[in-house]
Amino acid sequence: MASKSLKPPKQPPKNPKKQWSLNDFEIGKPLGKGKFGRVYLAREVKSGFIVALKVIFKEQIEKYRLHHQLKREMEIQTSLRHPNVLRLYGWFHDEERIYLILEYAHGGELYRELRKTGRLSEKQAAIYIASLTQALAYCHEKHVIHRDIKPENLLLDHEGRLKIADFGWSVQSRSKRHTMCGTLDYLAPEMVENKAHDYAVDNWTLGILCYEFLYGVPPFEAERQTDTFRRIMKVDLSFPSTPDVSAEAKDLISQLLVKDSSKRLSLQKIMEHPWVIKNVTSHDTII
């Protein structure tokens, strides 16, 4: 696929009732590989629109009994329309595979950027946190809890705009949930303790990410899994002397990493926090 094709038309192919097939796409380079399949750059032949095609092997879905989870993920992500949430345009399948037609995020995983730079500036961290906060506020209004926000699940588009991806652990519910899920370093205390949880688990993760953006590592990281669990349950939070991080950033993190989920800073209060206001101006593209 020629490089000039990377500038797609502004509008994705619009035909929700269309029966897609592999013949509708030109397949390009691989973009990534996961436990259940691979992701490829692709171009819809008729419109020339560039997408990411996620190929999932049915054999793996059957082996791990993930039919319900995948169906829920697809239904939730298709219903969401927000500039900071990766779009799922549609899907189709053949005998062996399921294909998800996803928005293409040219910048790749935020995880890669973070590993390359080590840590982010306070301004860049605040822009990402503001973007995430607005996206999660939209999700929560739709009664969607993501439950697995981490740098690997955050993508960047060609303008550097952040996109929440991978809704594999998400759930749409008005009531509290009991399934322990997500990724260890990002789990809220109520999940670690197998207690009921709600939207506040996503707010906790914003505190974890803010810390990781500024210090380069998650706050409760430990060599042994059991030690990480213990540190999360105790909220064993400390701020190293280096790198130099502002008092406002530490205050925001401290108000999010609170064991009592009802006392965590709300998403609205995050946007009103002095650290966000100081670092995110009207000229910054956060949506």
Tell me the binding residues for ATP.
Answer: 35, 54, 58, 103-105, 152-153, 166
CB atoms within 10 A of CB 20: 17
- Which two structure tokens, joined as six digits, stand for 171? 């759930």
Q: Is-contact 20 91, C-beta < 8 A?
A: yes
Phi, psi of 54 (to 5 degrees): -95, 120
Q: How far apart are CA 42 and CA 19, in angstroms?
A: 17
Cis bond upstream, residue 12 (ω within 30):
no
Instruction: Work out the widest C-alpha separation in the chain, in whole angstroms.
Output: 57
Q: Is-contact 173 179, C-beta < 8 A?
A: no
Report DSSP letters for 28-51, one per residue.
EEEEEE-SSEEEEEEEETTT--EE
Query: What's the residue count for the chain?
Result: 287
Q: How far apart are CA 49 and CA 10, in angstroms?
A: 8
Spatial CA neighbour of 60 closest among 104, 8, 96, 106 = 96
Q: How far apart are CA 239 and CA 219, in angstroms?
A: 8
Spatial CA neighbour of 20 closest among 103, 100, 104 = 100
User: What is the set of active-site residues?
Assistant: 148
CB atoms within 10 A of CB 96: 10
| Cα 220-145-107 angle, rounded to 5 deg | 75
Beta bridge partners of 57: 97
